Amino acid sequence: MARFDKLTENLARGIARGTSRRSLLAWLGAGMTGAASIPLLPVARAATPPAPEAPHGPHATGAARPAIVSGLEQDPGDRASCDYWRYCAIDGFLCSCCGGSVNTCPPGTEMSPITWIGTCTNPADGRAYVISYNDCCGVSSCGQCLCNRNEGDRPQVRPQSNNDYNWCLGSESSVYNCSVAAVIGVALAEPK
């Protein structure tokens, strides 16, 4: 009977140790930390089914499309082509093929206030520029000029440098339409 009493006493003391005020605070702290990590979880573009990937962004019908060039010597390239220098870290449909431009969303859509960034080299001057990629939201996918380039893409635990999120979650509608690539500045050289 003494063994049973000792076992019961140890069990009761263990429960008392695990249910103190400090223990309760520890559980609350762990719960708050877990809740704060929820935004780090990956988000899929659930609103849009994946489109068949076409080589370097022509229309889905395969019809020839006119080149959209800036005409500026310091900004060379076809803005409707996946090979355009600003699109080095883009993932999505190009707004320049969907009624918008490389910097602006098509009419009827809104630009998401949250963004991912990339660093692309301009072939005209050989300098690296910081590019802000914003999703345009509110209208279903335009389905033209799909471009998926992942140069410098980081894992999803670094969301500011990852292009696989649905960035429309920061706007009124989470429906994705297309993506823009705006130059926000010259990249600083890395220290050697």
The pLDDT tens digits for 4-58 are 999 999 988 887 777 777 776 887 888 888 877 776 665 544 444 444 444 444 3
For residue 182, count CB atoms less than 10 angstroms from its CB and return exposed for 0-12, middle for 13-18, buried for 19 or more: middle
Residues shown for the chain? 192
Query: 171 has which bridge partners?
Result: none
What 8-state DSSP symbol labels residue 187? P
Q: What is the per-residue pLDDT for 142?
A: 84
Q: What is the per-residue pLDDT for 14?
A: 82
The pLDDT > 90 percentage for the chain reads 13
CA nearest neighbour of 91 among 45, 41, 137: 45
Q: Chain-wide mean pLDDT for the chain? A: 76
Sole residue written with tokens 């996946």: 82
**43, 85, 140, 159 from 46: Cα distances, Å:** 8, 29, 12, 17
Comparing 37-46, 72-81, 183-192, the range with the smallest average pLDDT is: 37-46
What 8-state DSSP symbol labels residue 118? E
pTM above 0.85, yes or no: no
3-class SS of residue 13: helix
Please list the active-site residues.
Answer: 116, 135
Distance from C-alpha of 106 to C-alpha of 160, rounded to nearest angstrom: 24
The model's confidence at residue 59, banded by pLDDT at 50, 70 and 90, is very low
Residue burial 154-181, b: 16+ Cβ < 10 Å; e: rest: eeeeebeebbbbbbbeebebbbbbbbbb
For residue 1, count CB atoms less than 10 angstroms from its CB and return exposed for 0-12, middle for 13-18, buried for 19 or more: exposed
Q: Which pair of structure tokens corresponds to residue 13?
A: 């003391």
3-class SS of residue 171: coil
